[in-house]
């Protein structure tokens, strides 16, 4: 179904293009357009979001793509940051049609009953269908569900966080949203621009009969507003300026308490069992269909304790580094885009802006979830493991084939109780210079960046900072 629907959609500027497919005795392969710009949300600061103009650009491109899919009778049903990528010139691209469905064909509309998507981004009627379903003649409109998900994505673009962990009675934030008629007192909602808030309330109506349609969205004043970054056809008009603004918003505050970096607000509620973050959510939530393989949480919890990679204490200081070496390292890393986020005042080096020809020259497709260090490999790996232990994240460090690298497998859940899987690769680059790279395998890019920030702040003594 994924192949047929992706091929059926055809070409659109904001959708990953389907090229070809084939199969042998073991595999079926799909050749698709390469999103050379990487993940959009890898370049957005968790808990902060982006400016209103940038959020507006990418929201308009998202609506443009989803509206086109709907015109073909196809609904995506899994709109979330993990499936939103960028082209080489910085324009948005929707990917992953594994949960897509043909909801309309030859004038007839079909209801869906599959419980699918990522809990923070799905519409409430999707959850309800798990207990009702089509067996009683009920289901949900897949295109209407997409509109709700687009609203949540806009919310995340503007504030860097989701409004709730799932649209269910177990979520304090969602219950308040329903009880207050979409006017919660949560500080995240108070940060939204007034016009954008009006649009969001229309897109995220609980009553699907009153929820905004695509035409309603396109007519809304916030959608039709002028934007210095966008052309009339929704393409970026000034990708270099937009890229510079986006990049300079990425910053890690080493003075902040890393344990306060959470997408799950701490609430006081009488329903303590439902809000207990340590309680297994399997008993509270149904199983969602996913387009990516799942790993049993039980396996994750059965891992052994953290091994020591060095006999030295993780919180002892390494020997003083030769000042000449530090200066050499500073010069070597001065053009590394990822270093800006560790500066007191993040900025794009003038040499990069002067020579930039396109979006990628400012905001690279390569991962920004990495830091450099002058600490010895063993001591650095131990510090990272200690940080993970403080975050209650199971770690399984393994030496790679090379003696100059250590890989730590991460299989956990994010603050919204969604899967977060990846690897932390600690590698010696040159004598006296190591790099720690966080490579996401599965999960929300914004949650992965939040996880990266927590570990980095806990390892701040080991992080090489360009200002020092």
Q: Which residues contact 257 (CB under 8 A, 6 or more apart)?
A: none
Q: Above 90 in pLDDT, residue 339?
A: no
In a domain, 199, yes or no: yes
Structure tokens at 18: 């389907």
Q: What is the pLDDT of residue 204?
A: 98
Specify whether 319 is located in the same domain as 433: yes
Per-residue pLDDT band at 332 (split at 50, 70, 90): low
| CATH code, domain carrying 139 | 1.10.510.10
Specify whether 342 is located in the same domain as 201: no
In a domain, 90, yes or no: no
Query: Which residue, of 260, 282, 304, is where some domain finishes?
Result: 260
Specify whether 450 is located in the same domain as 307: yes
Number of Cβ atoms within 10 Å of the Cβ of 278? 5
143-164 average pLDDT score: 97
Does residue 301 or residue 197 have the better pLDDT?
197
In a domain, 452, yes or no: yes
Closest CA to 338 of 468, 440, 250: 250
Give 318's DSSP letter: P
DSSP-H helix ranges across 180-296: 187-190, 194-203, 214-219, 221-224, 239-248, 272-275
Q: Which residues are catalytic?
A: 78
Residue where the block lists tokens 């070496």: 325
Averaged confidence pLDDT in the chain: 83
Specify whether 60 is located in the same domain as 183: yes
- Helix axes 194-203 and 142-159, enclosed angle (nearest 10): 150
Q: Above 90 in pLDDT, residue 151?
A: yes
Tell me the residue range of the domain where 354 lies.
293-462
Q: pLDDT tens across 243-291, in order?
A: 999 888 888 888 888 877 766 554 434 333 333 323 333 433 445 555 5
Specify whether 322 is located in the same domain as 203: no
Q: Please report, for residues 124, 144, 334, 418, 431, the alpha-carbon distance to residue 208 in angstroms, rounded to integers and kept in the order given.
A: 10, 7, 52, 26, 61
Q: Which residues contact 213 (CB under 8 A, 6 or more apart)?
A: 147
Per-residue pLDDT band at 467 (split at 50, 70, 90): low
Number of separate domains in the chain: 2
Q: pLDDT tens across 351-379, in order?
A: 666 677 788 888 888 788 999 999 999 89
Specify whether 221 is located in the same domain as 305: no
Per-residue pLDDT band at 185 (split at 50, 70, 90): very high
In a domain, 152, yes or no: yes
In a domain, 196, yes or no: yes
Backbone angles phi, psi at 299, to 5 degrees: -60, -40
Q: What is the pLDDT of residue 212?
A: 98
Q: What is the pLDDT of residue 399?
A: 67
| CATH code, domain carrying 331 | 3.30.310.80
Q: What is the pLDDT of residue 324?
A: 56
Specify whether 248 is located in the same domain as 351: no
Specify whether 170 is located in the same domain as 60: yes
């Amino acid at each position: 179904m994924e192949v047929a629907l992706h091929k059926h959609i055809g070409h659109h500027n904001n959708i990953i293009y389907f090229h070809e497919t084939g199969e042998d005795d073991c595999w079926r392969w799909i050749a698709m357009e390469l999103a050379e710009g990487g993940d959009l949300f890898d370049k957005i600061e968790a808990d902060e979001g982006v400016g209103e103009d940038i959020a507006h650009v990418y929201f308009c491109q998202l609506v443009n793509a989803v509206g086109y899919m709907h015109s073909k009778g196809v609904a995506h049903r899994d709109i979330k940051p993990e499936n939103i990528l960028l082209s080489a010139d910085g324009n948005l691209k929707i990917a992953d049609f594994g949960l897509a469905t043909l909801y309309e064909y030859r004038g007839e509309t079909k209801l869906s009953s599959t419980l699918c998507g990522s809990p923070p981004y799905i519409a409430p009627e999707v959850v309800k269908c798990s207990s009702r379903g089509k067996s009683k003649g009920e289901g949900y409109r897949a295109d209407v569900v997409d509109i709700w998900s687009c609203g949540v994505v806009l919310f995340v673009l503007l504030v860097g966080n989701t409004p709730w962990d799932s649209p269910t009675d177990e979520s304090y934030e969602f219950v308040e949203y329903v009880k207050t008629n979409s006017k919660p007192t949560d500080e995240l909602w108070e940060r939204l621009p007034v016009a954008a808030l009006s649009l969001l309330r229309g897109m995220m109506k609980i009553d699907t009969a009153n929820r905004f349609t695509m035409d309603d969205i396109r007519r809304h004043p916030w959608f039709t507003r002028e934007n210095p970054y966008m052309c009339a056809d929704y393409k970026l008009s000034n990708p270099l300026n937009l890229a510079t603004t986006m990049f300079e918003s990425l910053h890690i505050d080493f003075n902040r308490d890393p344990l306060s970096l959470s997408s799950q607000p701490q609430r006081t509620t009488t329903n303590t069992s439902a809000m207990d973050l340590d309680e297994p959510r399997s008993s509270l939530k149904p199983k969602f269909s996913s387009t990516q393989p799942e790993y049993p949480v039980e396996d994750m919890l059965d891992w052994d304790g953290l091994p020591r990679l060095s006999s030295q204490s993780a919180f002892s200081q390494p020997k003083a580094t030769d000042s000449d070496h530090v200066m050499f390292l500073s010069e070597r890393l001065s053009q590394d885009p990822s270093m800006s986020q560790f500066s007191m005042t993040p900025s794009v080096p003038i040499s990069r802006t002067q020579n930039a020809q396109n979006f990628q020259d400012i905001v690279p497709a390569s991962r920004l979830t990495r830091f450099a260090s002058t600490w010895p490999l063993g001591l650095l790996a131990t510090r990272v493991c200690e940080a993970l232990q403080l975050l209650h994240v199971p770690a399984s460090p393994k030496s790679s084939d090379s003696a100059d690298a250590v890989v730590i497998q991460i299989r956990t859940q994010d603050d919204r109780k969604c899967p977060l899987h990846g690897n932390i690769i600690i590698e010696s680059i040159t004598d006296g210079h190591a790099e720690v790279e966080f490579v996401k395998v599965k999960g929300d890019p914004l949650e992965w960046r939040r996880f990266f920030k927590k570990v980095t702040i806990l390892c701040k003594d080991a992080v090489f900072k360009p200002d020092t």
